[in-house]
Structures are given as C-alpha cells and as structure tokens.
Structure 1
Amino acid sequence: MAELKETFACVPSTERGRGILISGDAKSNSILYCNGRSVMFRYLDRPLEVKVYGEHMYPATVARYSPNGEWIASGDVSGTVRIWGTHNDFVLKKEYRVLSGRIDDIQWSADGERIVASGDGKGTSFVRAFVWDSGSNVGEFDGHSKRVLSCAFKPTRPFRIVSCGEDFLVNFYEGPPFKFKLSHREHSNFVNCIRFSPDGNRFISVSSDKRGLLYDAKTADMTGELSSEDGHKGSIYAVSWSPDSKRVVTVSADKTAKVWEISADNNGKLVKTLACPGSGGVNDMLVGCLWQNDHIVTVSLGGSIFLYSSSDLDKAPLELSGHMKNINALALLKGPSKVILSTSYDGQIIKWLQGIGFSGKLERSVTTQIKCFEALEGEIVASGFDNKVWRIRLLGDQCGDADSVDIAKQPNDLSLALLSPDLVMVSHDTGVTLLRGTKVVSTIDLGFTATACTIAPNGNEAVVGGKDGKLHVYSVMGDTLKEEAVLEKHRGPITVIHYSPDVSMFASADSNREVVVWDRASHEIKVKNMLYHTARVNCLAWSPNNSLIATGSLDTCVIIYDVDKPADQRITVKGAHLGGVYGLVFTDDHTVVSSGEDACIRIWTVTPKK
C-alpha cells in the first residue's frame, strides 16, 4: 500500500492587474483558494495539512464556506457554481449555471439560505442571488454595465447586497427579493473588492483609483474614506475586516499591506504598513488578503502567502509558497537533509524539506522555462525551451553563476553521467548531442527522433529511445557512439528511460502506457506485462535499493512495482495528481515523491505487498 504522508500545496492562481478574493473558516482556521481546477484547503496553524477539491470541469475562480462551515460554494470560469460538503468526501449537493461567464465572487447570507454570485455575463446579467438548495432567484440585479468583480451580503438583518466592478460603480440592493436601490460613482477606476463589516454596520469598497471608501450599511450613504495622506501608491486589490469590525487590512500593487483603524467618524487612520518580503519585483505586488482570527493573510502576485500576527504587527510573517504551474520535474539533492528540488514550466526552482515543506525559491538571474533537469551536490544541469543547456551552481539557498550553451536543437530529454558529471547527453529530433561541461563535443544524427535518453553513471554506455518505440543501446567511445543493440518491445514513442542505481537494469516507458524493465547485461526483459496505466507514462523512478520502480502517468495515477514480483502485485495510487503525474523521485527505499499538473507535490510511504 501507499500512504499519503505530506502534501506541499500549490499557491493561488493570480493574474496581473487583478485581485484574488480568498476566504476562510474561523472555526477550523482554514483558508480556501483556487488553482486550475482545484480548490485548496490550507490550515493556518498546520501548513502541511492540505485538502484538495478537484471536481470542477473548468478552472475554479473562487470558493466560500457557508456560515456554519458545513458547505462550500465554489465558482469557475464557465459561470457554474457547485455546492458541496466539507466532510464525507466532498459530496456534491447542488450545481447551477449562474452566469454566462466567469464567476469572480461568491457570498452566503448570514442564515446560510441564500448565495449571491457576481462576475462576467451578457447584457445586464452580472449578478445573481438564489436560494442555494433550490436555485430559485431572489431578486433582480440591474444597474451594472460591465463585469462585476465583487459582491457582499450584509451579515445582519435587514439583508442587503452590495456589488462593484469594472464600470466604476458601487451598487446597493434591498430585499429579499432584492431590487436595485442606488449607485455610487465616487470611484474613478475599477472597484475591485467590497465587504461588509462583521457587525453589519458599515461596508467598504476599494479601487484601482487607490481609494478606500466607507458607507453606512443600512442606508448606503457614503460616510468616510481611508486616509489618502498615508494611502496606497498603487491599485488596491482587496480588503478584509478584522473580526471585531474595528480595523481593515488592504493590499495593493504598491507591494504593501496596510492596517487601518476605522474611527467613530467613519474614516480610516493608518495603524501599520506591512511590507511584503521579497526582492521588490513585479511578483511582490499584493493581490489578495484575509483577516481571520489572529492571522492577517496576504497573497502576492507570485502566489506567495504571508501570515502575519494581528496582535503583533511587528513580527516577521511566515511565508507559505510553492508552484503555480505544472511541476514537470523533480530531483533529490543527496545528503542527510534530503532536499527535494522541483521545477515548473514557468522556470521556478523551489526547495522542499520533508516534514517542513517550503524551504525557499532558488532565485535565478535568467528565468527560462525548464523542461528537464538533474541535480548534483552543488549544481543543477537543466535544459529548456530556449534550446540551451544550463549548468547552475548552488550557493546555499540561491543560484550562483550559471553557464549555458546553445545546442541549436529543442531538447526532448537530458541525462547526466553521475560519476563523470561533466558528461551530459541531450536527445532531440535528429539524434543526440554530447556535452562536456558547457562545450558541445558532438552532435550525432542517429537517423531517428530521439524522444528519451539515459547515460550510465560512468559514462561508457547510453540507451536512447525513439519515436518509433525502439530502444538503441550504445557504447560511448570518446565523443562518438557505437550501436550495440536495438531492443523492440514498445508499441509507442519512448517517453522515459532510467538505469537502476546499481546499473544492473534499466527501465523504459512509452506513450502507449507500457513499462518494461530490462536486464542491462543480457538485454532480456526482466519484468513484463507492466501495462496497468490507461494513458501515456510521463515519468519513472527507482528506489535506492533497486527493488521498486514507480511510474507516473497522464491518467493521474502512480503505480509502484516490485521488480522481484509479478507485475499484477503492483501498488496503485489513483488520482495522485489532477491532470496527470509528471515527476517522481525516491528519497529512500520506502518513500516516493510525486508531482503533477496540479502544481502540488505529494510524499507517499510505500509498504510492499507480502
């Protein structure tokens, strides 16, 4: 069996020039955010405890707990709202097509009976409120002419709904059934977020015009604003009230969060400016926030989540970070701490530690997209979509000098001779290229498209897989290759090949879902009938003791085989990663790490079948 031990979560999906509206549940001290089709649960006092809801058919955009914490309403880019339980495997209760376009915000009424959703639509249909268990409408929401970015439900009776959006308007509705009452036009740019205070006495709107305006919750009269003297120097993307309704936190494109005291005269006086840790680049813009219990949560454009203590604003924040995009490769830095390195298509390289999680981003002077990489003590060798092979030195928590060489071909795979790490083989559409250091020593036309390759640790042998499904075994003789054997078993393009740690075997996999383990000396098949995936095999990894092999596939599964047992005694982890598994590495004989399109990393403890 394989037991899930840890999940290193993805970060929220963000978009330049737009805020994100995260939410949470005070009782469980958890927050919700979206990435791709996943709705992520993170527990602020237990960062390694993560739950994922992945049932949306389209990318999810926003999710909210019901007031009693038993239900969650989540919306997606298709305009669909799904209502599902927080327990019992997230059982789906209801699903409604609410708008014709993207859902940007969702709010529950305080009694948990109604939901209001806003976003993109057609005509004047940018806001809709409905009874959650029947879907019946509870009002008409005229008054907006463009996308409505945020909406809110007054938490006390008499119920009111407010909304704001790209038409610069703040609209106020009375009900139920809800009907338009009045509009405010004081903002001069997109109004990004609107929120009622928990006591139901006020609401606040924040805008890309750098202003935050305060209103009376019963009459909708504008009563004050956040001090412009200490105000943000960039667009304000989100706002959240403190639980006692006396303060708010705002976040901005100026890379700061500000805590404001709301005075008796309904104006906002600055209490503290919270600087976002980081290098000061574009990704440090702050686009989301939440005030929950003693935590102030901020989210940067790069996806990093910062947890501040509201009772000690001078205390440095805790950073929770990770990948936002598909994690396409994993590597293990040998050593006592078992540092896991991961890279995603956007070029990020992140360090992780078992039992701790996020351990830092490896900042690089040139952020190129990485397709495949291998790690050594003190060095990373990577290839990407820029036709280059990079050697990046590691200096503690940062990337040091990087040398690159343009091989003038799009790399399909890369393999490093671990005992002779100067030697690198790169496969591409016409054959392979051999490098020593960052010098191309030969580019060899093999007469076929080389889709995958592996080179023996001592650098004297290589196996190259082709688009035709054949494996070609070569002796490496100086800067040339001599073909020793052609192995035919696969019925689809080879996707991955790896030698076992003791180099007595090698394993190969193809896009036609088959895996084969070969004896290196005799070239005979050692394990056959490994045909249990239902789609292309993307990755494979060997355990250090050479006894287990793990495979990951587009079918979302990880399968673990024991090479000394029949293939039908495999261990299967179903749904390991939504969208497919793209990276695997063993940290010891019984622990395998996986990554995938869901931008998450999971650590599994493997107990072989008796």
Structure 2
Amino acid sequence: MSYKVSSLFPCNPSTTRGVATKLSASKDKIIYTNGKTVIIRDLNNPAIATAYSGHTQNATVARFSPSGYYCASGDASGTVRIWDTVGGDQTLKAEYKVISGRINDLEWDGESKRIIAVGDGREKFGHAFMMDTGSSVGEIMGHQKPINAVSIRSQRPYRAVTASDDTTIVFHLGTPYKFDKTIKTHTKFVQDIRYAPSGSHFASVGSDAKIFIYDGLTGETAAELTDNGHKGTIMAGNWNSDNKSLVTSSADCTVKLWDVENRKSITTWTLGSGVNHQQVGNIWLGNDTIVSLSMSGDLNVLDRRSEDKPVRVVTGATKAVTATVPVASDTFLAGTAEGRILQFSSTTGDASYVEGEGHTNLVTSLSVAPDGMVFSVGFDDRLREIEGSKFTSAAASTSSQPKSVAVAGDGTVFVAEAQNVEAFRSNQKVFETSTKFTPSAIASHGSLVVIGGEDQKIRLNEWDGKQLRETANLEGNKGSVTALAFSPNGSLLVAGDSTGKIVLFDVKEKKVVTSRWSFHSARINSLSWTADSLHCASGSLDTDVYIWSVQKPLRNISIKKAVPGGVNAVAWLDSDGKKGQLASAGADGCVRLWDVIFHV
C-alpha cells in the first residue's frame, strides 16, 4: 500500500478586527498566513497551492523576496524564518529571533539580501538584518509604540519608512539604516505604508481615513488624496506597477482606486456592509487585478476595468475544520470551528459556502442520510439540514450541547448530547432518553444505533421507529470512545478512543475482531470506511492518518504529520478496492486529498 498527496484546499487568511492583514504577491501567486501556517496559492488555478508549517507560534506576516525564490515569514514570538519557495521541500535557509514580541510586518530590499522586520517588542520595535547571516544593517528607531508597517525603497540610494500606532512615520536613510526624521501627517494610528515600485514616492494610510503621498528620496510630503475619500479607517494601500495607481482598502467596506498624478479617485467598489465586509488588506496581481481581503477572510478579486462588483470571491475556512462528510465521489462538505460549512469539489479545486442560515458556532458533526440529505449539529445547540449546497429552512433545537450526529436507515436523526440521546424526524423530536453514562459518539446503520460513552463502553441498540432498545455492550477500548463508524455493509464496527486505540468489532457476533490497531498516540477524532468495507482510515490529534486493512489487520499505511496541529476529520471520497482518494482536515483549516493505492 502507498500514498501521495494529490491536492490541497488551503485555508483563507486569518483576520483580527482593527488590525491590518499584510498580503504579498509574486506573479500570479499570493501569500498569507493563518495560525501557524503560511499559504501560497495561485488564484487563477485553485488546484495550485502549498502550505508551509515551520513556525511553532502563530505566523503573522509573509512576504516573497523580489527574486521570488525565497519567502520571509514572521510570527507572534518575534521570529523570522527564511525558506525556499522553489520546489516542494521548502528548505529552511535561516531563522532569526529579531524582536521580543509580535512581528506585524517585514520587507525585503531590492537585492533580496536585507530584511527589516517590525512589530511589538520590549527593547525595540524593529530590526534590520542580512538575510544570510542575520547581522545588523542599521537601527530602526524613533517610535514610541508598536510599528504596524515597513517599506523599503527598492533602488539605491536605499530608504526605509515605518508607520506606527504613535501616529508618526519615521524616515530612515540606508544602508546601514539610520534615523533621519519623523513625519507627523496623520492624527491617528498609521496602518500601512508602501513605496511605489519606482521608488519615486511612497504612500501612507491610517485610522484617520487619510491618504498621504511623499517624495521617495527626501520624505517630504507631496500631497493628500481627498477626492471622494474613505469614511472609515484605511487598513491597506498598495501601488500598481505603473507607479501611477494606488489601491486602498477600508473598514468602511470599500476599495478605492486612485490616480495619484491627478489626485483623483477613479473607481470605488462597495463590498457589502457590516463587520464581515470590512476590508483589511490588499495586493495587486499583475497590472489589472486587485485582491482585497474582507474581515470574514474572503479574498475579493477585482478587475480595475470593471466598476461593478468582484470578478469572483475566493472562499475557504479561516479556522479549524472540525467535521467532513462525502456527498459524491468528487464532492464533500466540511464544517469549521467558526460555524461555517463549505462545499469542496475535488475535480475543480473550488470551495464555496453552503448557502442559507447556518450555524453560529463550531460545527461538531456531519452525517448523510440514505436519501442524500446532510445533517449537521454545532455548539449553537442546533440541528440543521442541508440539501444540495443550501441549508433548508428547517432546524431543530437540542436540549444540550450536541457531540455527534447519525442518521438511521429510516431517516431518523440521532444526536448524542451531554447526558442524553435525542431522535428527530422532519425536525421534530420523536424520542429522547437520559443516560446514566456520558455519551461521546454515535453511529448508525439500518436500524442499529451504537452509542459510545466516556466510560469506555459501546451500547448496541435496536431502533424500532419509536424506541431505542439496548441489545448488547461492546468492550475493548481503553479510553473514552471518541469516534464510531459502521462499515458500509454493516457487518463491522470500528471504535476509536481517547488513548489512540482503535478496536474492530464484528456486529453480528458482538465480539472483537482485532484490538491491535493501536499505533496512534493521541485521541482518535475521526474514522471512515472505503466503499468495499475492506479498509478504514483514522485521523488523530497526534497529526497522523492511518489506513487499516480488515483482511490483513497488521498491515497499514501511515501518513505522518498529515495535518499540522491535529487531524479532526477524514473521509473517503472514492474507492474501488485497488485505490481510493482520502480527504483529511483539521487544526490548520486546510483540506488535503491523498491518492491511496491498496495493492502495489
């Protein structure tokens, strides 16, 4: 048996209210951070994406070098990692601890040799250093509060500008970089500052909704852009390669394109209303395409030639994926910790939100009924149903926080909760039973319903349409039962627990087939069977995925470090006995597809 990763559905950028999110681009690729992961993706081809997971703390900013061969990424601990973007190895070139706190921004010089990193440190707010040796190339000073942004003139003589929460901009001469003067044009936080590619000018934007243009060599204020300006905090500004156009993104939910030479606003895109549509970052892709980031994490792709609406909106998870379920051989749904449910297509590489009123909190479990209807439960204590790619209007409230959901053969939906199990049909409660144990997982096949408990036992029940009748107890797990799954033919039941052990049961004989699937070292979060009932995949908090063989119980495929931070969900999309495609997802918000060959 063997495997290889076939594609990656990346997470979208993480955002924080009131904080600008820095984006970077090289040719058609955009780079950003989410949690400890750095994502590089091609917005023109959704199938092309890579994830870098080298940081031990949350990554906060990542920027391509001008050459495009390297990336520098900073994190919340003040560490900068420089790594290779060419090829799949992502070789680490260097790692430096540059400040004692969060890095808010960093910038390469035009020769891809020097880097300035800025942020929130105790001793200093910025550091300039050589990328290959880490040696200092000057001092970044003059600010009294954390620095939000930095930009370097890409031509000699070098200049560097930094923007801070202290409402000032500091102009540095270089190299080595040294303080030259303080610029006091803004009256509130300065959120972003960027040099034009030619180096002739730089622009600053801030919480006072103002935009200023400065001379790139002297730092003298050249102009203020006031024509039809923004009505709220401006979070980001970026120059086009023509050195004449500037794009700004604001918390007033608009993106504006400016003609800097004529000091005029050319185009305004309004991208909705409310907090989720506040614009917190932007970048140019080529000469005509603008990407602006919404507070919700959506990437809005705008064409400067179109004044109407975004060409498209790139969606994705911004927090951990907590549950998955296949709905076709090339389509699956994924629930997230933010309450969203997304639909993914393995054929096109696209992701889209399930439309309608969904969950408002973490999605704990998904299950598909025999008729194709999908049911979901979440920490908002709601049971919802999904038909196609939309939530239906039907919903039901659970009496306590749901942990797991399963659908019986007659369409009855069972929900395992803190101290009880409820059954719903047509979104009406038809049965409820209190338990003397704490339910932790549930699964169903036909009229059989199994309930796993924190007492390490599994209760096998028969559902007659009105009542659950307990028929047997299955034992063998060494911890709380955290995941259950019937084989498609109903003859086998697999149970994973909090210790990482997996036990395979014969349902008819009510006995253990094997208890030797015990290679995981932490809680089992998800189990999924192939269509032929011969192989089972398991995902664990230990970040690994294992694929087990029923016919040869000692034979397995181990996918080590399949999901950084832990695997929350696994699901087979397609399998034919010789090969299959497996989806795995978890803490990093990404979904990875694996092509698995069972017989070599």
Q: Which residue is equivalent to 1:414? A: 405
Q: Which residue is equivalent to 2:12? A: 11
Q: Does 1:96 align with 2:96?
A: yes
Matches of 1:500 and 1:441, distance apart in 2 = 27
Q: Does 1:391 align with 2:384?
A: yes
In the alignment of these two chains, the number of paired residues is: 591
Counterpart amino acid of residue 440 in structure 1: K
Counterpart amino acid of residue 157 in structure 1: R
What does 1:534-553 correspond to in 2, within 5 Å? Answer: 534-553=521-540
1:193 is displaced (CA, Å) by 0.6
Q: Which residue is equivalent to 2:483? A: 496
Matches of 1:520 and 1:462, distance apart in 2 = 11
Give a deviation string over 1:342-370, Cα, whole Å, max 9, x none: 11011101111122233421244354222
Give a deviation string over 1:305-330, Cα, whole Å, max 9, x none: 12234466668513221000111011
Q: Does 1:562 align with 2:560?
A: no
Q: Which residue is equivalent to 1:579? A: 565
Q: Which residue is equivalent to 1:320? A: 314
Q: Is the CA contact (8 Å cut-off) linking 2:358 and 2:391 kept in structure 1?
A: no
Give a deviation string over 1:31-75, Cα, whole Å, max 9, x none: 110000000011233222111110101000001122222221110
Give a deviation string over 1:461-485, Cα, whole Å, max 9, x none: 2211121212221223454333322
Counterpart amino acid of residue 543 in structure 1: T
Matches of 1:251 and 1:132, distance apart in 2 = 31
Q: Which residue is equivalent to 1:167? A: 166
What does 1:76-115 correspond to in 2, within 5 Å? Answer: 76-87=75-86, 89-115=89-115
Q: Which residue is equivalent to 2:194? A: 195
What does 1:524-539 correspond to in 2, within 5 Å? Answer: 524-539=511-526
Q: Is the CA contact (8 Å cut-off) linking 1:130 and 1:137 kept in structure 2?
A: yes
The 1:234–1:402 alpha-carbon spacing in structure 2 relative to 1, beyond 3 Å, is farther
Matches of 1:476 and 1:588, distance apart in 2 = 30
Q: Is the CA contact (8 Å cut-off) linking 2:384 and 2:391 kept in structure 1?
A: no
2:48 partner SS = strand
Q: Is the CA contact (8 Å cut-off) linking 1:429 and 1:448 kept in structure 2?
A: no
What does 1:232-243 correspond to in 2, within 5 Å? Answer: 232-243=230-241
What does 1:238-253 correspond to in 2, within 5 Å? Answer: 238-253=236-251
Correspondent of 1:464 among 436, 440, 451: 451
Matches of 2:561 and 2:84, distance apart in 1 = 20
Q: Is the CA contact (8 Å cut-off) linking 1:202 and 1:214 kept in structure 2?
A: yes
2:25 partner SS = strand
Correspondent of 1:329 among 312, 323, 330: 323
1:162 partner SS = strand
Q: Does 1:365 align with 2:385?
A: no
Counterpart amino acid of residue 9 in structure 1: P
What does 1:148-159 correspond to in 2, within 5 Å? Answer: 148-159=147-158
Q: Which residue is equivalent to 2:263? A: 268
Q: Which residue is equivalent to 1:345? A: 337
1:201 is displaced (CA, Å) by 0.4
Q: Does 1:594 align with 2:584?
A: yes
1:378 is displaced (CA, Å) by 6.7
Q: Is the CA contact (8 Å cut-off) linking 1:152 and 1:196 kept in structure 2?
A: yes
Matches of 1:282 and 1:375, distance apart in 2 = 33
Counterpart amino acid of residue 504 in structure 1: S
Counterpart amino acid of residue 343 in structure 1: G
Q: Is the CA contact (8 Å cut-off) linking 1:378 and 1:393 kept in structure 2?
A: no
Q: Is the CA contact (8 Å cut-off) linking 1:381 and 1:389 kept in structure 2?
A: no
TM-score by length of 2: 0.94
Q: Is the CA contact (8 Å cut-off) linking 2:517 and 2:553 kept in structure 1?
A: no
Matches of 1:424 and 1:398, distance apart in 2 = 19
Correspondent of 1:433 among 422, 425, 428: 422
The 1:429–1:393 alpha-carbon spacing in structure 2 relative to 1, beyond 3 Å, is closer
Matches of 1:120 and 1:391, distance apart in 2 = 43
Matches of 1:52 and 1:509, distance apart in 2 = 29
Q: Does 1:284 align with 2:247?
A: no
1:391 is displaced (CA, Å) by 3.0
1:212 is displaced (CA, Å) by 0.9
1:410 is displaced (CA, Å) by 2.3
Q: Is the CA contact (8 Å cut-off) linking 1:62 and 1:105 kept in structure 2?
A: yes
Matches of 1:292 and 1:436, distance apart in 2 = 50
Give a deviation string over 1:574-601, Cα, whole Å, max 9, x none: 2221111111222221122221111011
Matches of 1:145 and 1:311, distance apart in 2 = 42
Counterpart amino acid of residue 404 in structure 2: D
Matches of 2:414 and 2:65, distance apart in 1 = 55
Q: Is the CA contact (8 Å cut-off) linking 2:30 and 2:43 kept in structure 1?
A: yes
1:397 is displaced (CA, Å) by 4.2
Give a deviation string over 1:170-211, Cα, whole Å, max 9, x none: 110112222211112111111111011101100000111111
Report % sequence identity: 35
Matches of 2:309 and 2:436, distance apart in 1 = 62
Give a deviation string over 1:56-95, Cα, whole Å, max 9, x none: 0100000112222222111001111111222361222221
**Mean CA deviation greater in 517-526 or 141-150:** 517-526
Q: Is the CA contact (8 Å cut-off) linking 1:103 and 1:120 kept in structure 2?
A: yes
Matches of 1:585 and 1:366, distance apart in 2 = 22
Matches of 2:586 and 2:384, distance apart in 1 = 24
Counterpart amino acid of residue 275 in structure 1: T
Matches of 1:439 and 1:321, distance apart in 2 = 33
1:338 is displaced (CA, Å) by 4.1
Matches of 2:252 and 2:214, distance apart in 1 = 25
2:202 partner SS = strand
Matches of 1:603 and 1:359, distance apart in 2 = 14
For the aligned residue pairs, the C-alpha RMSD in angstroms reads 2.0
Q: Is the CA contact (8 Å cut-off) linking 1:169 and 1:191 kept in structure 2?
A: yes
Counterpart amino acid of residue 375 in structure 2: V
The unaligned stretches of length 5 or more in structure 2 are: none
Q: Which residue is equivalent to 1:296? A: 290
Q: Which residue is equivalent to 1:133? A: 132
1:414 is displaced (CA, Å) by 1.6
1:268 is displaced (CA, Å) by 2.8
Matches of 2:269 and 2:458, distance apart in 1 = 57
Correspondent of 1:256 among 248, 254, 257: 254
1:283 partner SS = helix
Matches of 1:438 and 1:46, distance apart in 2 = 40
**Mean CA deviation greater in 210-219 or 175-184:** 175-184
TM-score by length of 1: 0.93
Matches of 2:53 and 2:247, distance apart in 1 = 30
**Mean CA deviation greater in 300-309 or 159-168:** 300-309
What does 1:432-451 correspond to in 2, within 5 Å? Answer: 432-451=421-440
1:442 is displaced (CA, Å) by 3.6
Counterpart amino acid of residue 393 in structure 2: D
Q: Is the CA contact (8 Å cut-off) linking 1:413 and 1:452 kept in structure 2?
A: yes
